[in-house]
Amino acid sequence: MQYIASISYGKDSLAMLEVIKRHCLPLDRIVHVEIMATKDIPADLPPMMEFKKKADKIILDKYGIPVEHLTASHTYEEYFYYVCNGKKSRNRGKIYGFPLQKGNWCNSRLKVGVLDKVQKGAICYIGIAADEPRRFHALSETKRSPLVEFGWTEEMCRAWCESNDLLSPIYTTAARGGCWFCHNQSVEQLRLLCKNYPEYWALLLKWDADSPVSFKGNGHTVRDFDKRFSMEEQGIISKDKKFHWKDINKTPL
């Protein structure tokens, strides 16, 4: 029986490794699922990728186990352009495009499926904190949370990460945790992506033009956001004032 710790590089999963060590719990492997946007571009933004590199060194020094970075057989972009051939699907013959906001294909194909394969027949440790009862339903005999077992709260995890140089930039800057192309991200996060990573934004616009599914569940596209941000830049609309999409549609650029 193997014991596997699954980490996201968030404060809870990193502090979990310390709890495992302090309480001498068995541990054979530490794994992380690396989602890839394309073959060359990861789903995490560069500050997060840098942090992971640094954290990997600290983890190896502290616990003597290298973090295994696992990836799905296909990238986000490859699934995006996969042609749906489900007999009953109303999208038969069309590419997947952006995931639906509810029931998305990305999490299961790019992350959960990869973890399920590696965790088969193993005991898996996951970073659920002792004060997160809404997540306890994910725990079972084969999915354990050392943080819950030994009473570590989110605040304790954060404090431990801070004092061990293991606090991810998602807690200290406006950097987003999760994929930079995520359809669930906020307007502010999209604005930062557009401003700070124009090459990623251009790729998102290309996908947007090809997708049979709108980027946002309410029908808004990346092109809508692009127009909005461009109007903000030109001072035509203010990003501070209450925003209405109709203001954009009636104002030519």
Q: Which residues make up the interface to ligand SF4 (CB under 6 A)?
A: 43, 99, 104, 106-107, 110-111, 178-179, 182, 184
Residue 103 or 235 having the CB closest to ligand SF4: 103
The interaxial angle of helices 11-22 and 154-163, nearest 10 deg, is 80
| Nearest-angstrom CA–CA distance, 43 and 181 | 7
Instruction: Count Cβ atoms within 10 A of the Cβ of residue 91 and give its class: 0-12 exposed, 13-18 middle, 19 or more buried.
Output: middle
Least gap, CB of 247 to ligand SF4 (angstroms): 28
Residue 8 or 164 having the CB closest to ligand SF4: 8
Residue 106 or 147 having the CB closest to ligand SF4: 106
Specify whether the CB–CB gap between 164 and 16 falls below 8 A: no
Least gap, CB of 53 to ligand SF4 (angstroms): 20
Least gap, CB of 246 to ligand SF4 (angstroms): 28
Residue 2 or 107 having the CB closest to ligand SF4: 107
CB half-sphere exposure, 93, CA atoms < 13 A = 1
Least gap, CB of 169 to ligand SF4 (angstroms): 16
Least gap, CB of 191 to ligand SF4 (angstroms): 17
Residue 11 or 111 having the CB closest to ligand SF4: 111
Q: What does the H/E/C string look like for 128-172?
A: CCCCCHHHHHHCCCCEECHHHHCCCCHHHHHHHHHHCCCCCCCCC
| C-alpha to C-alpha distances, 226 to 34, 43, 212, 223, nearest whole angstrom | 28, 20, 18, 5
Residue 123 or 204 having the CB closest to ligand SF4: 204
Instruction: Count Cβ atoms within 10 A of the Cβ of residue 251 and give its class: 0-12 exposed, 13-18 middle, 19 or more buried.
Output: exposed
Written as one letter, the residue type at 209 is: A
Least gap, CB of 133 to ligand SF4 (angstroms): 23
